[in-house]
Structure 1
Amino acid sequence: MARTLCNHCNFALNTCICSAITNINNKVKVIILQHPSEEKIAKNTAKLLNLCLTDCQIVKGENNDDFSILKSLPVSSTVLLYPNENAINLDDSAEQSNIKNITHLIVVDGTWKKAYKILQLTTLLNQFKTVSFKQLPKNRYAIRKAPRADSLSTLEAVAHSLFLIEQLNPAPLYNVLDELIQKQTQHMPEHVKARYLD
């Protein structure tokens, strides 16, 4: 039998997070390129961003054809959030003049393997500068295990980016994430929950 979903947040009623959602006016437009397999994952955080940020768009796909929106973005002020050797660190004070001109932030939503696949298949991304962080904030999202130590959920990565680019207060986004974690772990046996929330 299909579970009844909340009409607003689209989570199951027993994990509804509406009470924690706040509308946040972000100046930098966030474009999330989401691997199709992420959509069905209950613990996916991209949809939390879409519920909170007033200027956020999720585009599903894997390649140039799916992500044709990239052709319409301003090349000089759009950046891709991805750690590589050429990335500008958003938390580097020497880069502040570059950072304050950013108008669009592209984020790839998927496991490291799927994100890498999107990058390989979507050559349109090559036209944009990449950005990353020197110092990662503490990962708060322990309910979804990642293979790399430098992993953040999509929500955490965007919250930290917007904080560094436009001084947007990340607390309301972290509150929604905390609510999701609480709802997703509320029915776990204590010994299982302890593994996630230690």
Structure 2
Amino acid sequence: MARTLCNHCNFALNTCICSAITNINNKVTIIILQHPSEEKIAKNTAKLLNLCLTDCQIIKGENNDDFSILKTLPVSSTVLLYPNENAINLDDNAEQASINNITHLAEQASINNITHLIVVDGTWKKAYKILQLTPLLNQFKTVSFKQLPKNRYAIRKAPRADSLSTLEAVAHSLLLIEQLDPAPLYNVLDELIQKQTQHMPKHVKARYLD
């Protein structure tokens, strides 16, 4: 028998998170490239961003054909959030750089002009696959973090130490790019965690939350 879903948040009624949802006016447009396998995962956090942020779009797919929206984005002010060797750290402090480091200063200037942030939503393996199948992404600068915030999303295990949920990655990015308070997004995440663990036996819940 199918579960009844909330008409607004689309979670099951007993895990509805509407009470924690807040409308957040973000200036940077968030483009989420979502692997199709993530869509029906109850613990997926991209949908939380779509519920809260006024300027957020989720596109499902795996390759150039699916993500044709990338052809319409401004190359000079669009960045891809991905920790590769060429990534510019959003939390680098330009004031700490040598005044002679022209390359570093130029990178910081490009960060200050970001209008669109592309985020890949999927496991590390699936995100890498999307990058390999979507050469359109190669035209954009990549950004990352020098220092990660504490991972709050313990109920979905990740194989890498530098793993954040999609919501956490976007919340931290918006804090660094446009000084947007991440608290409302973290509150929605906390509500999701509470609802997803509320019926777990204590010994099972302890494995996730301790």
TM-score (norm 1): 0.99
What SS class does the counterpart of residue 50 from structure 2 fall into? helix
Quote the residue 2:200 is aligned against.
Answer: 188
Residues 112-155 of structure 1: CA distance to partner in whole angstroms, max 9, x if unpaired? 00000000000000000000000000000000000000000000
* In structure 2, C-alpha distance between the alignment counterparts of 1:38 and 1:158, rounded to whole Å: 17
Deviation at 1:99, TM superposition (A): 1.4
Please give the per-residue CA displacement for 1:162-186, whole angstroms capped at 9, x wherever unaligned: 0000000000000000000000000
Q: Distance in 1 between matches of 2:110 and 2:75?
A: 13
Query: Aligned to 1:84, what secondary structure does the other structure show?
Result: coil
What's the offset of the Cα at 1:106?
A: 0.1
Structure 1 Cα separation of the partners of residues 173 and 108 of structure 2: 13
Shift of the alpha carbon at 1:92?
0.2
Separation in structure 1 between the aligned mates of residue 121 and residue 4 of structure 2, nearest angstrom: 26
Residues matched between the structures, number: 198
How far did 1:100 drift? 1.2
Paired residue for 2:77? 77
Compute the displacement of 1:96 (Å): 3.7
Percent identity over paired residues? 94
Gapped runs of 5+ residues in structure 2? Answer: 95-106
Residue equivalent to 2:97: none
Structure 2 distance, partners of 1:97, 1:190, is 50
Q: Root-mean-square deviation (CA), in Å?
A: 0.6
Q: 2: CA distance between counterparts of 1:146 and 1:192?
A: 17
Per mean C-alpha deviation after superposition, the further-off stretch among 145-154 and 87-96 is 87-96
User: Over alpha carbons, which structure has the higher Rg?
Assistant: 2
In the alignment, the residues of structure 2 paired with residue 14 and residue 73 of structure 1 have an alpha-carbon distance, to the nearest angstrom, of 39
* Structure 2 match to 1:35: 35
| Separation in structure 2 between the aligned mates of residue 88 and residue 166 of structure 1, nearest angstrom | 16
* Secondary structure, counterpart of 2:4 in structure 1: coil
TM-superposed CA distance for 1:82, in Å, is 0.1
TM-score, normalised by the number of residues in structure 2: 0.94
Alpha-carbon displacement from aligned partner over 1:6-53 (angstroms, at most 9, x marks no partner): 000000000000000000000000000000000010000000000000
Superposition deviation, residue 93 in structure 1: 1.1
For structure 1, which segment, 86-95 or 173-182, has the greater mean C-alpha deviation from structure 2 after superposition?
Answer: 86-95
- Give, in whole Å, the separation in 2 of the partners of 1:163 and 1:7: 30
SS for the counterpart of 1:92 is coil
Task: Tell me the SS of whatever aligns to 2:59.
Answer: strand
Q: 1:55-105: CA deviations, max 9, x gaps? A: 000000000000000000000000000000000000001254221100000
Moved over 3 A (4+): none
Q: Residue 123 of structure 2: which of 99, 111, 115 is its match?
A: 111
> Distance in 2 between the 1:155 and 1:38 partners?
13
SS at match of 1:169: coil
